[in-house]
Amino acid sequence: MTERKALLAIHLGALMFGLSGIFGKLADSAPLAIVVGRALFAVLALALFAQLFGQAGGKRPGGAQLGLLGLGGLLLGAHWLTFFQAVNVSGVAIATLGFASFPAFTVLLEGLLFRERTRPSEFLMVGVVCLGLVLVTPSFDLASQGTAGLLWAILSGLLFALLSLLNRASTPGVDPVRAALCQNFTVLACFLPFAWPLLPGLSLLDWFWLAMLGVLCTGLAHSLFVASLRVIKARSAAVIFALEPVYGIAFAWWLFHEVPTPSMFAGGALIILAIFASARMAR
C-alpha cells in the first residue's frame, strides 16, 4: 500500500465510523437489537478481513489476554448500546458530539491508570471539551430528550475510553484485526440471549442496515485503519479520525434534517478543535 492509498483508506475508514449513527437510526430498531445485528455482521466481516490483513507475525493471545479481550468485548457492547440509545433519544448530531468527548476521558484516565503525567495542555483540552458539551446541551433539564441523549452519549464516550485503555494494556503483539474479532464475538455471545426475542420483528430492510453497520462501519473501517497504519504515522491517522463527528453530523443534516443550532455549531467546533489538538499532541 502506497502512502497515497493509505491516506485514502484512513479517510474512508473515518467516513465509515462517522456513519455508525446514521445506519443505526435507519435500522429503526431497539438499541439491543442493533448491537447484536452489528456484532453478527462484524464477526463475519472481520473473520474475512483477518485472512486478508492479519499480521503473519502476530502472536496468539494467552489465557490472561483472552480474558481481557472478553472484558473489552463487554465494554464494546455497552458502548454501542449507550450510543444507539443516545441516537434514539436525541438524534445523530447530539449523540455524535457527546461521544466525541472520549478523548477527554482518555487523557484523564490514562494519567490516572497508567500513572503518566498529564500536561497542562491536555487539561486545557479537557476544559475545551467540557465547554463544548455545555454549549451542545439543549437545556439543563433531565426531562429533556436532548439532555438525556447527550448524557447517554457521554457515557458511551467514557466506555469507549475505558475500552481504548484496556486494549492498550491487553493487546501488545496481538494482531489488531483478530483482537477486534474476539471482542465482537464476545459482544455477540453475551448480548444475543437478551436480544433474541427482538430479532424476529426486524424487517429485511432493518437487516440490510445492520449489515451495512457491521460490515462497513466495523469490519471494513477497522481493517482499513489497521492496514493504513502500516504506511502512515499513528498521529496522522488520529488527526484524520477527528473528522468522524463532522461526517456524522453532515449526513444527519442531509438525511434527517437534524439542523444544528448556533450553540451546537459552537460547541461542536470546540469539541472537534480539542480532538484535533489532542491528536496533534499524541505520540
Q: Find out whether 274 and 125 touch, Cβ atoms under 8 Å.
A: yes
Task: Give the separation between CA 65 and CA 172, rounded to whole angstroms.
Answer: 9
Give whichever of 126-140, 204-218, 226-240 has the largest mean pLDDT: 204-218
The predicted model gives 26-48 an average pLDDT of 93
Contacts of 103 (CB under 8 A, 6+ apart): 125, 129, 161, 274, 275, 278, 279
Task: Give the separation between CA 275 and CA 238, rounded to whole angstroms.
Answer: 9
Amino acid at 40: L
Ramachandran bin of 261, using left for φ above 0, alpha for ψ from -120 to 50, beta for the remaining angles: beta
Q: Which single residue is written with the C-alpha cell 496481538?
A: 174
Task: Give tens-digit pLDDT for 155-212.
Answer: 998 998 888 888 777 666 677 788 888 899 999 999 999 999 999 999 999 999 999 9
Task: Give tens-digit pLDDT for 46-73.
Answer: 998 877 766 555 566 667 778 888 998 9
Ramachandran bin of 202, using left for φ above 0, alpha for ψ from -120 to 50, beta for the remaining angles: beta
Amino acid at 25: K
According to the model, what pLDDT value does residue 159 have? 93
Q: Find out whether 66 and 123 touch, Cβ atoms under 8 Å.
A: no
pTM: 0.85
